[in-house]
Amino acid sequence: MSSNKSAATQSRSLRTISILLLVIVGFSGLAIVQGATSFKLGLDLQGGTSVTLQPRIGAGGCLVNFMHPKSTGGVLIELSQRPE
């Protein structure tokens, strides 16, 4: 009787691991199909303020990033770096 319980428990564990692996493979495939293979670094601060750690390409090919007015006393600050 105990060997029957052991086999059932082992079968349930194997089924759970298989389902988990299929879900991981499915989400990975979905990310690749949608082209979401690169990650953007960002930081969400309390109060809805967000800081993007990777600059965007702005006018004239400049690298541009902004600091939110909530974190700078009400002033929007633009950081820009000319292309080399």
When pLDDT is averaged across residues 67-80 and rounded to a whole number, the result is 81
When pLDDT is averaged across residues 1-21 and rounded to a whole number, the result is 80
| CB 64, CB 57: distance < 8 Å | yes
β-pair type (42-44, 56-57)? unpaired
| CB 54, CB 43: distance < 8 Å | no
Q: Is the pLDDT of residue 66 over 70?
A: yes
Looking up tokens 């060997």 gives 3
Interval 15-47: pLDDT, tens: 999 999 999 999 989 888 887 776 665 555 566
Q: Is the pLDDT of residue 70 over 80?
A: no
pTM of the shown model: 0.40
Confidence of residue 71 (pLDDT cuts 50, 70, 90): confident
Measured distance CA(72)–CA(9) in Å, rounded: 58
